[in-house]
């Protein structure tokens, strides 16, 4: 009888000490990053937050990096081309509120998906920038905007006239490869140096998550290295690869004047251009910069040269260029069988020779 009582007691005790959690309990984040804001938030900041923004492998269009053929083309490029070495967002992975004077930590509950990772399954990497912004629309996250390109004629592609985000970007840890940066790196498998936000000269990112720093290189060095078939070198003295728990990412205020470009996503990432047929009515060029310039290409010059009319976006919009050609296809202005050819009867407003 005593043994039965003991058995019942043991069973009851074990049942009382049930430590099973099933699907419940706290969910540990896969990584937590410590942040700090250096400098005062601008007056009128409504809801400061930090976003973790994964980067897109992006290649600028040829016109934006090949030397311009005129001053007007240079002006249009300056107004309509984003930094060719800048960080281009793919999507926002996490957001966290910023309370002035309190430590900031941002955590990830999921790893970047395969569409963000660059490389194959044995060696792939993704980079993220940490962005301080004012969540003006109180949506809880940083919405991205797109360049507004002008429309074409009837059979042209649709306009991209979606509303812009009202969120205001204040600072970022990784704006451009031509600036010093601190980026979140996520590495799976081995590391292979590629042209995806390269840090040649620095150490490899640590396996898993790491906070990687680099001093940046100049655009001239990058172009020279690219022409030489290499990657621009970072100064090793400016490099760092640290575990997230071993460092704090600084977001410095005031941010770079072009910092809002980091919240501009790109429709195309492979340097390709969507050409448009010029409309019959002159497009609204108010606050835009336009120029006539030759078609640019990373390859051989076109067999049938023609002039394009490029128009920048407005200064308060994401940078982007609209390309009008009198003869061509959407994807290729030099196509053999053009979708349109009005070179013999250009619109009356057509300004180019």
Partner 1 sequence: MRLVLIAVVVGFARIAHADGTLLGDDTWNFKPGNELAIDGGLVVALPAALPAGQALGVGGGFSYGRGLAWGARAEGLTATEGSEFWTVTHRELRLRATGAATTTAGRATIGLRLGLGGNLVHETRTRNQASRLMSDVFETRAIALLPGADLAFVIELHIAGHWLFELAGGPTIDVVASNAHFGWSTELGVAWRP
The footprint of partner 1 (CB under 8 A) covers 10-12, 14-23, 25, 27-28, 30, 109-111, 188, 207-209
Give exposure, 311-346, as e/b (b: 16+ Cβ within 10 Å): bbbeeebbbbbbbbbbbbbbebbbeeebebebeeee
Rounded distance, CA 230 to CA 232, Å? 7
Torsion, Cα 249 252 257 259, to 10 degrees, reads: 20
Please report how close the Cβ of residue 50 comes to partner 1 at its closest, in angstroms. Answer: 22
Q: Toward partner 1, which CB reaches closer, 20 or 337?
A: 20
State the minimum distance, in angstroms, from the CB of residue 209 to partner 1. Answer: 8
Rank residues 19 and 345 by Cβ distance to partner 1 and give the closer one.
19
CB of 208 to partner 1, least distance (A): 5
The position carrying tokens 């009837």 is 154
Is the CB of 8 or the CB of 285 nearer to partner 1? 8
In the complex with partner 1, the residue whose CB is nearer, 18 or 316, is 18
Cross-strand partners of 119: 124
Report in angstroms the alpha-carbon separations of 317 from 57, 84, 162. 22, 17, 11
**Partners of 208 in beta bridges:** 187
Could you tell me if 118 and 187 are in contact, meaning their C-beta atoms sit under 8 angstroms apart? no
Nearer to partner 1, 27 or 300 (CB): 27
Find the shortest distance in angstroms from Cβ 18 to partner 1.
4
Q: How far is the CB of 181 from partner 1 (least distance, A)?
A: 23
The least distance separating partner 1 from the CB of residue 348, rounded to whole angstroms, comes to 60
Closer residue to partner 1 (CB): 25 or 101: 25
């Amino acid at each position: 009888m005593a043994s039965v009582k003991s058995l019942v007691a043991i069973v009851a005790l074990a049942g009382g000490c049930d430590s099973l959690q099933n699907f419940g309990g706290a969910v540990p984040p896969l990584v937590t990053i410590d942040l700090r804001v250096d400098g005062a938030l601008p007056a009128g900041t409504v809801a400061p937050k930090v976003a973790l923004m994964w980067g897109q492998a992006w290649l600028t269009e040829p016109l934006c990096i090949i030397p311009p053929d005129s001053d007007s083309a240079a002006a249009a490029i300056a107004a309509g081309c984003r930094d060719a070495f800048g960080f281009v967002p793919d999507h926002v992975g996490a957001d966290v509120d910023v309370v002035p004077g309190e430590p900031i930590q941002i955590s990830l509950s999921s790893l970047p998906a395969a569409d963000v990772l660059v490389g194959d399954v044995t060696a792939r990497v993704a980079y993220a920038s940490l962005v301080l912004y004012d969540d003006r629309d109180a949506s809880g996250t940083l919405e991205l905007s797109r360049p507004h390109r002008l429309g074409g004629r009837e059979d042209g592609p649709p306009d991209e006239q979606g509303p812009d985000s009202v969120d205001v970007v204040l600072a970022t840890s990784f704006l451009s490869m031509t600036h010093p940066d601190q980026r979140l790196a996520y590495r799976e498998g081995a590391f292979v140096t590629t042209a995806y936000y390269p840090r040649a000269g620095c150490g490899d990112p640590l396996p898993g998550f790491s906070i990687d720093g680099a001093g940046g290189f100049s655009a001239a060095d990058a172009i020279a290295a690219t022409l030489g078939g290499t990657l621009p070198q970072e100064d090793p003295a400016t490099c760092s690869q640290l575990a997230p728990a071993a460092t704090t990412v600084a977001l410095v205020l005031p941010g770079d004047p072009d910092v809002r470009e980091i919240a501009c996503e790109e429709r195309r990432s492979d340097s390709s251009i969507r050409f448009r047929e010029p409309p019959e009515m002159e497009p609204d060029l108010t606050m835009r910069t336009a120029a006539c310039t030759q078609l640019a290409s990373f390859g051989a010059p076109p067999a049938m040269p023609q002039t394009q009319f490029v128009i920048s976006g407005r200064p308060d919009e994401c940078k982007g260029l609209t390309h009008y050609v009198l003869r061509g296809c959407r994807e290729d202005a030099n196509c053999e069988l053009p979708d349109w050819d009005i070179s013999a009867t250009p619109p009356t407003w057509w300004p180019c020779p």
